[in-house]
Amino acid sequence: MTQTISLTAPAKINLSLRILGKRPDGFHELETLMAPIGLADTIEVSHGTGHGITLTCNDPELPTDSNNLCVKAAEAFRVATGLDHGIAITLLKRIPHGAGLGGGSSDAAAVLKGLNELFDEPLVNEELHQIAASLGSDVPFFLTSGPAWCRGRGEILEEASALPKRNLLLIKPPFPVPTAWVYKKYAELKESGKPLTQPEKQFLGDLEIVNDLEAPVFHKYLLLPVMKTWLREKPGVEAAFMTGSGSTMVAVMAPEVTTEQISIIKKGIQTEFGETMWLCETGWAIGDGK
């Protein structure tokens, strides 16, 4: 019997995020194009001693009890399969939290995939998808391996066309943005009747890049719209936008961008916005997460 399964849990960015309305269940109806990127956590799942679920993580800020989505995923897997084996999870965290990069959701999906392999695949894909959807809106996406249009709460997936190759620069300020607050603020702005600011259109190939959640986040976190404008003015930047509910900003680099130009932009960010900015150069994820 296999003793340990190791998986990569990639981050994601939202290239398009539209809010279509409020659902009867209280959630928002979404249409979003998500793409996995090279930045990733590493998850190991293995047989544990006794009958409990343990989580070890290198990030002391994250809970390791039942409040962690990895533990919730493992417990949901055990309920679905009727297993009462001990499970040990090790999480090497590289994706910042509160960043709009889907790290927690990706970790949970990796736990589900890893446990299913560890215990000789007792669940079919549809069953894993149901568990994933019960854990969070972004979790089903991470059971796939490429870009996808996600609708409903995010659980209805449609494979998307391949994206043009690009380098990406991620910039996260030293503060998180609470997702629940963002959606609440968005609803308040819509109900107030105030027109939401329509940003100048940006494209990646034929795809229009848009994020409806920029309006409520930019309304409070004034650093972010300033950064977006600053990035868009820089040579070599094809597009700049906030991903998900923030606070990470994404700069899509033009195909002809040079290493020197990227280096100048990174230095400029730290000069203009402070050295507490977290920076990461990456691209689209490659591979199947194993």
Tokens representing 112? 């589900």
Among candidate residues 41, 72, 113, 138, the one labeled active-site is 138
12 is catalytic: yes
Tokens representing 283? 């691209």
Among candidate residues 12, 72, 93, 172, the one labeled active-site is 12
25 is catalytic: no
- Residue 198 amino acid letter: Q
The Cα 108–Cα 118 span in angstroms is 15
Q: How many other β-carbons are positioned within 10 Å of the β-carbon of residue 168?
A: 19
Kindly list the catalytic residues.
12, 138
